[in-house]
């Protein structure tokens, strides 16, 4: 085991503590899977975490990168035959999960970034699609994956 140093800027702590990551996903790369925090140092400007790991390298610091992106969920819905507005079937983390809940030709899925509202007027939903209809048409053409 070797001890590595991970300087952490105060802004990162503020970012997490003030919940600025609401409606956002953050992932961190560069921290070994076996990493374990064994201590910390504070020099008045920043905290340095002392991390123990089996990973050997020339440097005594870890090169960590924070990646941030918006949270997108997938909405599954169905159009009603009676002319009433469409109904929500569910909200899912992945496109595949949303598509799996579609059972009829009228069922559709589409992505929605958390914290985003649709406009009041009717618009075309980008990336909205009808999985059952697509599968049926693919079968008819003989290009189905099933």
pLDDT computed for residue 123 by the predictor: 83
pLDDT at 106 over 70: yes
Pairing mode, if any, of strands 46-53 and 2-9?
A: antiparallel
Please give the pLDDT value at position 146: 58
Q: What is the pLDDT of residues 36-70, one digit of tens each?
A: 888 888 877 777 878 888 877 777 777 777 666 77
Distances (CA, A) of 22 to 13, 16, 19, 85: 14, 9, 6, 30
pTM of the model: 0.56
Please determine, for residue 92, whether its predicted confidence score (pLDDT) is greater than 80: yes
Distance CA 92, CA 42 (A): 42
- In the chain, the N- to C-terminal Cα span, in Å, equals 49
In this structure, the number of other CB atoms found within 10 A of the CB of residue 76 comes to: 22
């Amino acid at each position: 085991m070797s001890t590595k140093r991970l300087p952490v800027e105060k802004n990162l702590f503020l970012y997490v503590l003030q919940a600025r990551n609401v409606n956002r996903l953050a992932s961190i790369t560069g921290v070994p899977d076996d990493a374990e925090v064994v201590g910390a140092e504070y020099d008045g400007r920043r905290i340095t975490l002392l991390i123990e790991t089996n990973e050997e390298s020339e440097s005594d610091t870890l090169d960590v990168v924070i990646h941030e992106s918006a949270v997108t969920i997938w909405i599954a819905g169905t159009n009603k035959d009676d002319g009433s507005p469409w109904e929500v079937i569910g909200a899912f983390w992945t496109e595949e999960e949303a598509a799996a809940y579609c059972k009829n030709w009228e069922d559709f899925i589409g992505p929605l970034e958390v914290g985003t509202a649709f406009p009041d007027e009717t618009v075309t939903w980008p990336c909205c699609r009808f999985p059952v209809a697509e599968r049926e048409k693919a079968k008819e053409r003989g290009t189905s994956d099933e």
